[in-house]
Amino acid sequence: MKGFAMLSIGNTGWIEKERPACGYLDAIVKPLAVAPCSSDVHTVWEGALGDRHDMILGHEAVGEVVEVGSLVKDFKPGDKVIVPAITPDWGSLESQGGFAMHSGGMLAGWKFSNFKDGVFAEFFHVNEADANLALMPAGMDVAEACMLADMVPTGFHGVELADIKFGDDVCIIGIGPVGLMGVAGAALRGASNLYAVGSRPTCIEAAKAYGATEIVNYRKGGIVEQIMDLTKGKGVDKVVIAGGTSEKTFGQALAILKPGGRIGNVNYLGSGENVLIPRLDWGCGMGHKIIAGGLMPGGRLRMEKLTSLVTSGRLDLSRLLTHKFNGFDHMEESLLLMKDKPKDLIKPVVII
Ligand code: NDP
Ligand code: ZN
């Protein structure tokens, strides 16, 4: 089969590989739509996972099941499925402890284009199909459904990590597709004043549509000054981080956070040895300002619940999709869009 791969750091291209084999509990899926992710960009151009060779990229897909293992109960060839980016081993001790995304080791629930080939291929393998696949509702748009693989669960997980409650004043730092789903999730969870930090006009418009009450443009002034001004010096109850840097962003988040507040980080921190936490803004270690960071959870139950937010009309995913392509020939073009982040981009998708 053909797959679009990372050939080495900074290089991508099409390669030929054996079609993956299906285990007893597993499924082989052929993609109907795939989306490149900022994480693919970190993998290829920043060498985030090290110097990988001929590794098929991609972890965001919806597809059609073509084969299932003999012990798979709930899925069969022909089923249209949403495939979460994170596909844990559900029998692991980490899963039993409530952290399935770390099954087999920290971050090891992330298997696609990490421990095995990813989804930018004619076929890909899904472990533990009954636990890791979700049926795509009939009539759901495949491009929108593809946003359920990673963007929705990750943005919403930022909201869970920050533990946003009714009436909280919230700041979402970063309003790419992940942060936008943070905005949508925070609004669904009952945030009152919802400050969204970003600069690209298309993302700003989408943030307003998803429920942001104020936009803070970090290129036009300091985040801390702007938020403290807007909140009349009080700061916010919760912060979700979905963009920014290891060096600056946590300091800004702590500076705008009230004592007792929580930060939920889902941003991938790709540079520097250390994350800088400013001592004074963290209350000299005694400010009850909790920092939580996490990888998106996978799991069929969660995916089905997130899917029903879309079918019930509570969550509109069409706004995320600014660039739609038809056919695998556009794989490279769509990945380069994610790398270059033009002003009119939120998220590209490739329909196969
Ligand atoms: P984007 O690059 O599309 O969005 C990043 C956002 O952060 C943009 O709004 C950008 O603003 C803003 N930003 C950039 N620099 C700064 C800064 N210095 N201060 C404040 N805001 C800034 O990324 P995605 O939405 O695709 O992904 C966000 C992150 O989530 C990535 O790091 C990705 O790897 C990670 N991720 C994590 C997952 C998880 O499970 N935890 C899963 C998937 C992704 P501007 O408008 O100027 O572009
Ligand atoms: Zn992704």
Q: Structural domain boundaries of the chain?
A: 2-150+296-351, 154-293
How much is the average pLDDT of 291-304?
97
Ligand 1 pocket, mutate which of 266, 303, 319 (most atoms under 8 A from CB): 266
Neighbours of 275 (CB within 10 A): 15
pLDDT at 270: 81
Residue having the nearest C-alpha atom to atom 17 of ligand 1: 244
Distance in Å, CA 256 to ligand 2 centroid: 28
How much is the average pLDDT of 238-262?
96
Ligand 1 site, CB within 6 A:
37-39, 42, 150, 154, 173-179, 197-200, 203, 218, 242-245, 249, 266-268, 295-296, 341
**Ligand lying closest to the C-alpha of residue 110:** 1
Give the pTM: 0.97
Distance in Å, CA 270 to ligand 1 centroid: 11
How much is the average pLDDT of 10-18?
97
pLDDT of 210 over the 90 cut? yes
Confirm if 33 and 324 have CB atoms less than 8 A apart.
Answer: no
C-alpha span between 275 and 14 (Å, rounded) = 36
- Which atom of ligand 1 is nearest the CA belonging to 346? 3
Distance in Å, CA 149 to ligand 2 centroid: 8
Domain made up of 2-150+296-351: CATH architecture: Alpha-Beta Complex (3.90)
How much is the average pLDDT of 33-59?
95
pLDDT at 271: 78
C-alpha pair distances (Å), 7 with each of 43, 44, 52, 225: 11, 9, 7, 44
Q: Hey, is 336 helix, strand or coil?
A: helix
pLDDT at 272: 82
CATH number of 154-293: 3.40.50.720
162-180: per-residue pLDDT in tens? Answer: 999 999 999 999 999 999 9
Q: Which two tokens stand for residue 117?
A: 């080939």
Residue having the nearest C-alpha atom to atom 1 of ligand 1: 176
